[in-house]
A and B are shown apart, each in its own frame.
Chain A
Amino acid sequence: MPESTLQAGTIDELLRPFPPSPASVIPLLQQVQTRYGYLAPENLARVAEYTHAPRSRVYGVATFYSQFRLSKPGKHVVRVCQGTACHVLGAEKILDELKEMLRIEEGETTADGEFTLEVVRCLGCCSLAPALMIDNETCGRLTRKRVGEVLASWRGKDRA
């Protein structure tokens, strides 16, 4: 499992490629989230320190953009599309089915820590609506059966 906080050694490795200026805040937060899955408070503070930006500004950025997570997600993040094309082709039902299969609401993580369920607006895969994305992989033409298969194939898999 990944560490939840930045270690002295790894932080340099993660931050060093970026100039220590406030313009680096977003890419740095993205790096931290890619590595750890979310933005822990101590990591937000460290990014603020490194970029010479006030903590409030870093926190403001982290909460403004929907990509950022402030709590620890499950091993795989399921992002189900509720964009226009998916909406008119029954995406709401797919969301309900996911909730039922995983027994969680959107924004929550399953008890076994495998899956976190999130909602997004369009994955750019509208021609194969309804669609979802697990970690970085998109799946389209979803039906109830397909959703079940997709979840089964990811369960137990390591994070990509």
Chain B
Amino acid sequence: MSRVTEVSIGLATCGIAAGAAEVHSRLVSSLAGHGLPVKVKRVGCVGMCYNEPLVDVLSEDGTHHTYGHVTVKDVARIVSEHLVAGKPVEDLLAPEDGFFSRQVRIVLENCGLIDPESLDEYRARGGYEGLKRSLFEMTPSQVIDEIKASGLRGRGGAGFLTATKWGFAARETSPEKFVVCNGDEGDPGAFMDRSVLEGDPHRVLEGMAIAAYAIGADHGYAYVRAEYPLAIERLEKAIVAAREAGLLGEHILGSSFSFDVVIKAGAGAFVCGEETALIASIEGRRGMPRRRPPYPTTAGLWGKPTVINNVETLANVPWIVRQGAAAFARYGTERSKGTKVFALAGKVNHSGLVEIPMGMTIREIVFDVGGGTRDGKAFKAVQIGGPSGGCIPASLADVPVDYESLTQTGAIMGSGGLIVLDEETCMVDVARFFLDFIQKESCGKCTFCRIGTKRMLESLTRICAGEAGTNELDRLIDLSRKVKRHSLCGLGQTAPNPVLTTSRFFPD
């Protein structure tokens, strides 16, 4: 019998929403009652949200036992039978379902395993080694070359090559430059960035610091949406801890490089995820996009060169610098390297957070990782990419996850929201849902987006109600194409995607 040394409880937003906070306090008081020298650790989300609340028990010999759907009532048994008597409570263990067997964890390597409020635990798993290596063994341009060799592309949706973006900003001679982390995560149905910020905040800070070193910036902003209070709190604590340890601030680790990060909380506007609107928001204005060029890498925040990267993009960076570009490029396809984190939700058994190598097919994600659809209902489609994306029908589910292949279907990779739909979901309803969303979130600056999406919604509503004239659908598709072509920013340019993909794959 091996002694239990540590008990971890998932206390990310998803765990708390399932009741993990009550389980945690009961466990703490119960252990105190038994006088057991067991460490109780708060961790982020391991991704198995479908089994929350989760309690993981680690024994001296390194074995883990994971309990799922733990209730306050279960705590007494886990403590007396397992922690005291050393016998795992078989009937409460989460079933072994192969959830992790096909995943590759780069971005999520620490999520759910470490205490996100402990800098020591992050460092014990190689944290800040990438920054150290950058500062003391590499020049800024070597860092950019390393990222270039890795093939890393932006995970915020568009898939722009990260090294190219950094290269543009590095070229600028301005004495003041900025790095901005985009944690606005506006796609309703996505929670990858929240989980990373809540579960491994130092990784994002390290990624920002490496980016800053590469482009020559000394200030950074982390823009996090208002709906994520816990993410903001954990990131705030991480910043304080990093400053105290000399990993942020003046002369980082005794080098000549200085960099610091300030958090900006969003205020509830989808369009603020768009980079120029995000800049306006940080500057204290209404978050309205502006025409590009100039791109932010030339004239961004307060007119200074600015690199804006998504949370997940930045979370890949420390790993790449630490493990080398080749290790990263081993995963993925010809043009899409590494992994992608998806937030699996909707009518799927294993709803949660998964990280898979690029190139895996949608079907493999839904069935092999996601455990298939709920209640044995027939799989109909996935919605990918949120309001800018589209629906991929079951008939195309063998498409590999790769920027170009997904774009070919009319959807996009997007930021990682993946909603599984079954035979009971009405496809037109989903298209109308997104149009309604976009129409309310349109900032109103350009006419095609403001009025066009409104007319599209009216048209679709008439079609749903069976009140449409004979050529209503053709007119809707025509209008969709016009909105796509003439809108000012990505919001309007991609707004018709859900309608267009739906009409293409589900013409009836």
Contact = CB atoms under 8 A, between A and B. Distances in A.
Contact of A65 (B191, B268, B386, B430): B268
Nearest to B194: A124
A118 to B, nearest CB: 10
A30 interface: yes
Interface stretch (A2-10, A70-78, A101-109, A133-141): A133-141
B190 A122 contact: yes
B208 to A, nearest CB: 20
A100 B383 CA distance: 31
A96 to B, nearest CB: 16
Nearest to B424: A88
Contacts of A141: 17-18
Contacts of B434: 84
B50 interface: yes
Contacts of B229: 136
A124 B191 contact: yes
Interface in B422-444: 425, 430, 433-434, 437, 441, 443
Contact of B345 (A26, A85, A138): A85
B390 to A, nearest CB: 12
Given A67-B268, A122-B190, A26 B281 contact: yes
A89 B347 contact: yes
A57 to B, nearest CB: 7
Given A84-B383, A122-B227, A136-B229, A127 B267 contact: no
A122 B189 contact: yes
Interface string B49-87: 110100000000000000000000000000000000000
A81 B344 CA distance: 17
A117 interface: no
Interface in A53-94: 53, 57, 60-61, 64-68, 81, 83-85, 87-89
Interface residues of B, number: 54
Interface stretch (B172-180, B282-290, B291-299, B401-409): B282-290
Secondary structure type dominating chain A contacts: mixed
Contact of B191 (A61, A88, A89, A127): A127
Interface in B185-241: 185-191, 194, 226-229
Contact of B282 (A23, A51, A83, A87): A23
B18 A61 contact: no
Interface in B460-493: none
24 contacts: A23-B284, A25-B284, A26-B281, A29-B267, A53-B284, A61-B286, A64-B443, A65-B269, A66-B267, A66-B268, A83-B188, A84-B345, A84-B386, A84-B430, A85-B351, A120-B227, A121-B441, A122-B227, A125-B191, A126-B345, A126-B419, A127-B50, A128-B14, A129-B345
Interface of B: 13-14, 16-18, 49-50, 52, 185-191, 194, 226-229, 264-270, 281-287, 343-347, 351-353, 383, 386, 417, 419, 421, 425, 430, 433-434, 437, 441, 443
Given A25-B284, A27-B265, 20 more contacts: A22-B284, A26-B264, A61-B286, A67-B266, A68-B267, A84-B383, A84-B386, A85-B188, A85-B346, A85-B351, A87-B433, A88-B419, A120-B227, A122-B187, A124-B185, A125-B13, A125-B14, A127-B343, A128-B18, A128-B49
